[in-house]
Structure 1
């Protein structure tokens, strides 16, 4: 009985950070060897970072990748271990996304990706070409910088597998796992026992379950050891890669890394018995299919991954005999952890001195502030564990001198140093929102400022009156809708101007250098509906809740109230969402859902049908008339659908200016690479709406629910 020590790693790589990426790769190999591993797998495109985007088209990026690989090949860390490294490679003037398999300062094989991720946030076909010569290899002639290290002139390039003395290894690259005809099936039938998958898979709420189930399924019928390595962290864009490196044997998860972490390097190892794979495959029907399977070219290496015997009692203890239950976070926890880790990466890599947030007293800015507090908690926990990288970054961001001994173990103390909040009130603001903002700031420890900006609003209003001779009025004072909207927008846009002023100067006021990043707090539903002022205080540097629904934000706040010991959050949950941009009277208080003409729950439904289910107005109506037919008539459903598409279309131009937001939801309307649609629409959709009306008048009315219960039913 032989045994195999395998390893999958998660690295927090940064696009184009070749020095840092090299250091983290070598550190992961060192840790793997210390644990006795003989095979190390890294995440996709780990040398460059996954998110280089159009930089992959630059010759410099390819050149620097070879330079880094040369340093890896020269390092003593790579002796006595098989390593699977990710980088872009130009082969015959074509750019490929590749895995480079190395052993003892030699390149064994270069395996290009065959199926590309090219939807949603991914545009791999913009940069790379898929390898279409399945089960074929060619000679790849190496650059001189590699020849100088390895003495090799050429290596096999293409779709092949690596055969060691004791087993066979096949590469499956990220998206290839998600395709219907995944490579692991045919490789497994041809005798491959170990599959490596190097991934650049990003976080979305509730997404991890699908990924784990696909990895388990890959070896449940087929049998085998599956090593999954994923990038972890923000590498320069809206995405957070959520790690969760895994080792799966015969459909059972036997090791799993963290999904969210502040660690730059995380290595997951397990000891498994190859005989388990072979016995699992001893099934007649599988054997018949395998006997007729097409063969793969085998790249042979005189190296054994397993030993002939157990070297110690510890080897017996390490041998994984039982699977464990995969770890899943609840969506509320995902919101608390994912955006918080993303904010920390963004802060430390942008080399700014903290964050500034306009804190309105509403639930959206409250959620943003709570996520920043969660970030401070994660930093404090990492510091308590002695994470020197986190401690060093926190000291630099907080403006501590080089000889400082301060350790950020108190999240409220850290928040006071790096997180700045400000309540920007006007005559339309209520006592309640001002009080909630102040109490939340005190509870989380942020450096809080409270101001009234009525003099600024009045100055702009008077300037307009001086120039035009007429003074705009609010609707409650007899003004038109145009006047009312303009006066609201003045307040919202002035808040953006003040936010950047305070973000630039507050560190100076506190005797520090540098500036702050301004945080936005517009949720995905309001962005989809266009219920925000263009270039208002939602126009910021980054937005941690930009792709999170109002429904999920409320659940997150309810969770945080207990998890973070913040009873003040209950007041935000109880409050009616309001922009507070119009005067409050005895008979009128501005309310968001009334303004929008639809509920946040309805917006979530519309958003998913529009983006995820790819519904236009007519198909959305036909779906909802069945789902909502028991409490809404066809005509009522038709009016809701038409109202949504009208408002979405006429506000679509706003989505081109959305603050870069943390990507967390499949129906995000982010116009920048994710949701590519025109921004000038025939907003009344005459053909589509006419077809809806024609059908709505013919369908029977099945609704039996009292109108007061409708809101509850659509949630």
Structure 2
């Protein structure tokens, strides 16, 4: 009797509504799994249609085309003699479910609907799907004629069942069910399930990988068993990036780790594991045996098929592997770079255009493009035919082979320093040096003529000349003059992006990259429709603190020595006049708060769900060694005034790579209104009462506002 099983799990770079491409990648993964002698192949969540179909799930066409792909898979010779587990939406009794379809040799064995839906953060599954609310129950599902004519089946089991083969028992979970407190694998393990499968659509965010890994490790350590985790990979067509990282574990140890960031469209992991290891592991726990003996059993679907072979005694046993984590700096280098590559190759454009100011943010964006060029060249060197085909199509040269990342950057990356009379030679030189080291096609232009023309139009109509604050102007004049420069840079960025390749005699256009970070978006420290407005923004979900660490990383990783000076320079918008040729304006002074404080506010606001009062209550303890309660109150009030005044800007944020769990991305990740009573009268009064109470019970030296707080709390914001 056989006891060793070879199992396959996959990461596929699926694309929402790309039924043609998705089906080809599914077939390729099954073919690879069979070549590796796998008897079971697991794919990612909703892999047939793509996870990010969103409101396309309302459309009957999406269900129809999913069934058409399923029909093709059932009939393909590639899918024979291997149990295939694919994901697609299915309507049962006029209710739409997120399902796994498990089939073997032109027969559907089981349709297993998802039992726990994810409905927070980036996910809105309950908008389209209903969870299966009948645990350990199955019903008969009447197959569409196009499927029934292939399988010869009129109905198949639909519901919460497990699959029994001749030699083992397999149970399904789908993504959120691993994360939920009442995970299915617990009851399944007590009912004798030895192999757990999890088809996932789990997005990337910084420092998240360890949570996913810990969940799989603890599940198999506590319950015993084999766990297959399949996760989607790549940009599905939206802001999030699915980072793959598929895995196989047994009894609390990992045996295979998939790539977390890859340009490969198909990655298949296999492992040969001994079922007797699961049985002996579980036999050591008497408490498990007592619980299993009294458990209500699952419905079992029988499959006349063996995962093991009788002559498997000579197959090698598994060897545990130590999980390899990427540092946050590596995650920033690889994640947004892979996302950019998918967006570029699928958008049909010829490259990227970036306004490069010589500051931390735009330089980080440039480095992410450079990292993308390194990954692309590495993939070409490794013989990836799809990447080479995409490169040649993008550059418009059927014979092009990139020799190095710098050469590739020169073909697909244009940077531009947009100087005004308020720009310094220091930042101009920094931008120039970094562009040379990356290899981008760099330009330096002067925008003063355009600025003067726009202001001249206003003066001709009103007969008044606005002035900067340093020249005697009011705060409103000062802000308006800054915003004119910022918005004209956006107009010029799109002009150059649309016509640069035309001027070179090449087809297509360039995607404009934004470079505002998540902290600036949270604070609203940006001009609406300025050069933070772009086609996509690879750093829009990353904090300034993490970007600074990333800049240090790039000095060592890529040898971009120009970044050393950029790292040491204070962040500045360079929109106000220079003082004797030197920068007189800094971001933190304009904002009235530091970037470090902004990160704290963001986490408390979004992740800890804090309003003004609860944030104040937390920060009086966090900052007790540096600030009095009254000073904390001033800081919290200033943040919420600034946040609420500028919240309307979140409605026009450039689509950004999601990386941080306090992203203020409106209507996608942060569902809050954009019109506030900026006085926050009730909330601020509650804070004031608490400050008075604390002042009476404790001696506090000062209640003066920080010197850095601007009177209008705005900066370049409107």
TM-score normalised by structure 2 residue count: 0.96
Tell me how far 1:701 sits from its aligned partner.
5.2
Tell me how far 1:325 sits from its aligned partner.
1.2
Matched, 1:606 2:606: no
Q: Could you list the per-position Cα deviations for residues 390-436 of structure 1 after superposition, in whole angstroms to 9, with x for gaps in the alignment? A: 000001001113xx2x2123111110100111010000000011001
Describe how 1:486-505 pairs up with structure 2 within 5 A.
486-505=480-499
Extract unaligned runs of 5+ from structure 1: none
Tell me how far 1:311 sits from its aligned partner.
6.5
Q: Could you list the per-position Cα deviations for residues 59-93 of structure 1 after superposition, in whole angstroms to 9, with x for gaps in the alignment? A: 00000000000000111111111111000001111
> Following the alignment from structure 1 to structure 2, what is the Cα–Cα distance between the partners of residues 627 and 620?
10
Aligned twin of 1:325 = 322
Question: For the structure 1 residues 68 and 702, does the alpha-carbon distance in structure 2 shift closer, same or farther, using more than 3 Å as the test?
Answer: farther
Aligned twin of 2:649 = 654
Aligned twin of 1:579 = 573
- SS of aligned partner of 1:221: helix
> Following the alignment from structure 2 to structure 1, what is the Cα–Cα distance between the partners of residues 47 and 286?
40
TM-score normalised by structure 1 residue count: 0.97
Asked if 1 retains the 8 angstrom alpha-carbon contact of 2:574 and 2:583, the reply is no
Tell me how far 1:293 sits from its aligned partner.
0.6
- SS of aligned partner of 1:412: helix
Aligned twin of 2:354 = 357
Aligned twin of 1:416 = 410
Question: For the structure 1 residues 294 and 710, does the alpha-carbon distance in structure 2 shift closer, same or farther, using more than 3 Å as the test?
Answer: farther
> Following the alignment from structure 2 to structure 1, what is the Cα–Cα distance between the partners of residues 519 and 626?
23
The one of 529, 532, 537 equivalent to 1:538 is 532
Asked if 1 retains the 8 angstrom alpha-carbon contact of 2:27 and 2:73, the reply is yes
> Following the alignment from structure 1 to structure 2, what is the Cα–Cα distance between the partners of residues 703 and 552?
34
Aligned twin of 1:78 = 79
Describe how 1:264-279 pairs up with structure 2 within 5 A.
264-279=265-280
Aligned twin of 1:296 = 298
Asked if 2 retains the 8 angstrom alpha-carbon contact of 1:383 and 1:409, the reply is no
Aligned twin of 2:286 = 284
- SS of aligned partner of 1:306: coil
Asked if 1 retains the 8 angstrom alpha-carbon contact of 2:3 and 2:167, the reply is no
Asked if 1 retains the 8 angstrom alpha-carbon contact of 2:97 and 2:131, the reply is yes
Aligned twin of 2:459 = 465
Asked if 2 retains the 8 angstrom alpha-carbon contact of 1:356 and 1:421, the reply is yes
- SS of aligned partner of 2:480: helix
> Following the alignment from structure 1 to structure 2, what is the Cα–Cα distance between the partners of residues 511 and 415?
18
Q: Could you list the per-position Cα deviations for residues 125-154 of structure 1 after superposition, in whole angstroms to 9, with x for gaps in the alignment? A: 001011111111111011111112111111
- SS of aligned partner of 1:449: strand
> Following the alignment from structure 1 to structure 2, what is the Cα–Cα distance between the partners of residues 355 and 123?
31
Tell me how far 1:703 sits from its aligned partner.
7.6
Aligned twin of 1:681 = 676
Tell me how far 1:588 sits from its aligned partner.
6.9
Extract unaligned runs of 5+ from structure 2: 709-718
> Following the alignment from structure 1 to structure 2, what is the Cα–Cα distance between the partners of residues 490 and 704?
43
Tell me how far 1:704 sits from its aligned partner.
9.6
Asked if 2 retains the 8 angstrom alpha-carbon contact of 1:629 and 1:701, the reply is no
- SS of aligned partner of 1:502: helix
Asked if 2 retains the 8 angstrom alpha-carbon contact of 1:96 and 1:113, the reply is yes
Describe how 1:243-642 pairs up with structure 2 within 5 A.
243-282=244-283, 283-310=285-312, 312=314, 315-316=315-316, 319-320=317-318, 322-401=319-398, 404=399, 406-586=400-580, 589-642=584-637
- SS of aligned partner of 2:383: coil
Q: Could you list the per-position Cα deviations for residues 272-318 of structure 1 after superposition, in whole angstroms to 9, with x for gaps in the alignment? A: 10001001111211100000011100000000001123265xx22xx
Question: For the structure 1 residues 701 and 571, does the alpha-carbon distance in structure 2 shift closer, same or farther, using more than 3 Å as the test?
Answer: farther
* Larger displacement relative to structure 2 (588-597 or 338-347): 588-597
Tell me how far 1:702 sits from its aligned partner.
7.6
Note the aligned Cα RMSD (angstroms).
Answer: 1.5
- SS of aligned partner of 2:312: coil
Asked if 1 retains the 8 angstrom alpha-carbon contact of 2:45 and 2:201, the reply is yes
Asked if 2 retains the 8 angstrom alpha-carbon contact of 1:630 and 1:704, the reply is no
> Following the alignment from structure 1 to structure 2, what is the Cα–Cα distance between the partners of residues 541 and 118?
27
Aligned twin of 1:109 = 110
> Following the alignment from structure 1 to structure 2, what is the Cα–Cα distance between the partners of residues 691 and 276?
60
- SS of aligned partner of 1:667: coil
Matched, 1:120 2:121: yes
Q: Could you list the per-position Cα deviations for residues 194-225 of structure 1 after superposition, in whole angstroms to 9, with x for gaps in the alignment? A: 00000000000000101110111111111110
